[in-house]
Amino acid sequence: MSKLCSCIVPCFNEEEVIPLYYEEMQKVRKQEEGKIDFEIIFIDDGSKDKTLEVIKKLSEQDECIHYVSFSRNFGKEAAMYAGFEHANGEYVVTMDVDLQDPPHLIPEMIRCIEEEGYDSVATRRVTRKGEPPIRSFFARRFYGLINKISDADIVDGARDFRMMKRDMVNAILSMPEYNRFTKGIFGWVGFKTKWIEFENVERAAGETKWSFWKLFRYALEGIIAFSTVPLTIVSLIGVIVCIIAFLFLLFVVIRATIFGDPVAGWPSLICVISFLSGIQLLGIGVVGMYLSKTYLETKKRPIYIKKESK
């Protein structure tokens, strides 16, 4: 009996590329016929264009196509979680619909799992060709930083394009956290992972959904979700400033007893006060970011709200 492979495909305003994606997947399905059955689960992440209609039409023609439609845009992370919940396959693949995650790699991924005994096959792009240089620069810095300050192994250039076995999917589903940073979650759950590399491919049609600001927030989310180092840094700064302040106090007291207390030093006072208030605000800000995440987490809101599915 052939095994089932579920493909989870988040879509947000992607009416143009869905047919192209489907065509590419048909080639893969033909290639694997008799060995692997496929189900494709499109997650309509609150699209405002005809995405859902396009998906519905496909699902009428082809019974291997399923979909989940959200009541509004919940983001790609939520879409992937919904996909994991609805996937039935022994193997599960997450991929973008814009063909930047080339479907023709799927047969190779299956081979790595079946013949080489890996639990998961992940992909990374070795180039960032076609991406704005500023974006690449900050992306590189982000990966350098997060790997230093968190236990989750997050690889530079890693895509969310990944095939995993059922055990790993169940492990991911056992992490129902609200602030989801899936790249970190993949690394955190462990399992034996093979990395395959490919050249960056540009989007087949449509536009990217990520602005610089959105990516910046995503990066912050990743750091807060997978590291408490910022809190440690703030505490350290606090300790250092306390030591300096204490030495300064000794100096002031000794100077006052020896030389008396002439009224002067207003500029230095202002400098010290503004410096310290800056540090305090920074510290409160960092603590606040963690607190806000905890706040959202304790509300236990659902990760997504489903409007319809098939």
Nearer to ligand UDP, 74 or 118 (CB): 74
Cβ contact 82:306 at 8 Å: yes
The pairing of beta strand 65-70 with beta strand 36-44: parallel
Any contact of residue 98 with Mg ion (CB under 5 A)? yes
In residues, how long is the chain?
310
Q: Which two tokens stand for residue 164?
A: 């995993």
Any contact of residue 98 with ligand UDP (CB under 6 A)? yes
User: What number of other Cβ atoms are within 10 A of residue 168's Cβ?
Assistant: 22
Min separation Cβ 72 and Mg ion, Å: 21
Phi, psi values for residue 199, rounded to 5°:
-75, 145
Which one of ligand UDP, Mg ion, none interacts with residue 10, CB within 5 to 8 A by kind? ligand UDP
What is the DSSP track for 26-81? HHHHHHTTTTEEEEEEEEE-S-SSSHHHHHHHHHHH-TTEEEEEESS---HHHHHH
Any contact of residue 8 with ligand UDP (CB under 6 A)? no
Could you give the angle at the alpha carbon of 33 between the alpha carbons of 64 and 26, nearest 5°?
A: 55
Min separation Cβ 11 and ligand UDP, Å: 5
Give the integer Cα–Cα distance in Å for 235 and 140: 27
Min separation Cβ 100 and Mg ion, Å: 4
Residue 244 CA, distance from chain mean position: 39
Nearer to ligand UDP, 16 or 45 (CB): 45
Give the integer Cα–Cα distance in Å for 128 and 98: 16
Selected from 5, 8, 54, 76, the binder of ligand UDP by CB under 6 A is 76
User: What number of other Cβ atoms are within 10 A of residue 271's Cβ?
Assistant: 11
Nearer to ligand UDP, 78 or 113 (CB): 78
Q: Which two tokens stand for residue 301?
A: 């809101």
Work out whether the CA dihedral 124, 159, 157, 133 comes out positive or negative: positive
Nearer to Mg ion, 162 or 165 (CB): 162
Nearer to Mg ion, 100 or 120 (CB): 100
Which one of ligand UDP, Mg ion, none interacts with residue 136, CB within 5 to 8 A by kind? none
Give the integer Cα–Cα distance in Å for 197 and 122: 9
Binding piece for Mg ion, criterion CB under 5 A, among 25-33, 122-130, 195-203, 219-227 = 195-203
Give the integer Cα–Cα distance in Å for 41 and 309: 10
Binding piece for ligand UDP, criterion CB under 6 A, among 72-80, 143-151, 189-197, 235-243 = 72-80
| Binding letters toward ligand UDP, positions 176-215, x by CB under 6 A | ---------------------------x----xxx-----
Give the integer Cα–Cα distance in Å for 137 and 180: 24
Binding piece for ligand UDP, criterion CB under 6 A, among 96-104, 142-150, 268-276, 294-302 = 96-104
Min separation Cβ 96 and Mg ion, Å: 5
Min separation Cβ 210 and ligand UDP, Å: 5
Any contact of residue 227 with Mg ion (CB under 5 A)? no
| Number of residues this chain uses to bind Mg ion (CB under 5 A) | 4
Q: Which residues bind Mg ion (CB under 5 A)?
A: 96, 98, 100, 203
Q: Which residues bind ligand UDP (CB under 6 A)?
A: 10-12, 14, 45, 73, 75-76, 79, 96-98, 100, 203, 208-210
